[in-house]
């Protein structure tokens, strides 16, 4: 089945105010930047965004925060985004902070059809408030619910017209889990090839999880925190 769409405009057709979106990436690594730019152009608002964090102030999801298009963030890290921090502390933005591993597993569970699971992460903290507690092997665990989204928007290195995806190195991060958990999954790729050109042994996300795929026009390889070693 050919899942290629012409461009990002066609890929995000149907995104509306008030929807829940999953967006892959970790900081600025592996984020679907063409799709995020299109969401800014669309002006959709009151969004619930599920993402590890929200990029930086002038890039990634930070662009949506600047325009006040996000109502709620479900994340594990406030990080380098001062506007995210400001909106959270002022009460303008609803934020659900989740342990990073739990966030990944909640997305994976949503894609696997598992409604909830028990984990020890977060027990004894605010994360556990209002959640069911059960003991396993003498250790308390909290019940976490799965996460799904109206649209899951991911970024891959290579993809084919049937929606099979290969991620590159650490840009893989949250993308495979989120690709499983969207009612509609959109994949933007750096290189789009005909079906059959990808080695099946190296495919990370099978095309069964992807409904729309397109080749991005441009990708900006930013470094969020530059770290250098002193010369001996």
Q: What is the pLDDT of residues 194-226, one digit of tens each?
A: 999 999 999 999 999 999 999 998 777 777 777
Q: Which residue has the higher pLDDT, 217 or 111?
A: 111
Residue 190: phi and psi, rounded to 5, are: -75, -30
pLDDT band (50, 70, 90) for residue 156 = very high
pLDDT band (50, 70, 90) for residue 58 = confident
Contact 190, 158 (CB under 8 A): yes
Q: Which residue has the higher pLDDT, 22 or 27?
A: 22
Task: Measure Cα distances from 69 to 14, 95, 153, 186 in Å.
Answer: 16, 14, 16, 20
Amino acid 140: pLDDT: 97
Task: Report the share of the chain in percent with pLDDT over 90.
Answer: 84
Mean pLDDT, residues 119-127 taken together? 95
Please name each of the domains of the chain with its CATH number.
8-100+108-113+148-215 (3.40.1080.10)
pLDDT digits (tens, 9 = 90+) for 40-52: 999 999 999 999 9
Does pLDDT of 81 surpass 90?
no
CA distance 41 to 64: 10
CA distance 180 to 3: 16
Mean pLDDT, residues 10-24 taken together? 98
Amino acid 35: pLDDT: 97
Mean pLDDT, residues 181-202 taken together? 97
Q: What's the pTM value of the predicted model, to 2 decimals?
A: 0.92
Amino acid 134: pLDDT: 97
Helix (H) or strand (E) holding 156: strand 149-160
For residue 43, the Cα-to-chain-centroid distance in whole angstroms is: 19
Cα diameter, the chain: 56
Amino acid 16: pLDDT: 97
Amino acid 57: pLDDT: 84
Does pLDDT of 148 surpass 90?
yes
């Amino acid at each position: 089945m050919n899942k290629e769409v012409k461009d990002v405009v066609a890929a995000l057709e149907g995104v509306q105010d008030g929807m829940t979106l999953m967006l892959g990436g970790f900081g600025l690594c592996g984020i679907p930047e063409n799709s995020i730019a299109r969401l800014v152009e669309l002006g959709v608002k009151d969004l619930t965004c599920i993402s590890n964090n929200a990029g930086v102030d002038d890039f990634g999801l930070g662009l949506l925060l600047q325009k006040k298009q996000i109502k709620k963030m479900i994340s594990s890290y406030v990080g380098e985004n001062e506007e995210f921090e400001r909106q959270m502390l002022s009460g303008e933005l609803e934020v659900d902070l989740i342990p990073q591993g739990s966030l990944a597993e909640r997305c994976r569970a949503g894609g696997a059809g598992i409604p909830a699971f028990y984990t020890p992460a977060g027990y004894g903290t605010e994360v556990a408030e209002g959640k069911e507690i059960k003991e396993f092997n003498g250790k308390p665990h909290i019940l976490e619910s799965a996460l799904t989204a109206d649209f899951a928007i991911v970024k891959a290195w290579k993809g084919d017209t049937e929606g099979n995806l290969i991620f590159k190195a650490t840009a893989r991060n949250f993308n495979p889990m989120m690709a499983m958990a969207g009612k509609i999954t959109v994949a933007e790729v750096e290189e789009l090839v005909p079906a059959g050109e990808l080695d099946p042994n190296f495919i990370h996300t099978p095309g069964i999880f992807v409904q729309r795929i397109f080749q991005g026009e441009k990708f900006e390889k930013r470094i969020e925190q530059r770290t250098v070693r002193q010369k001996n």
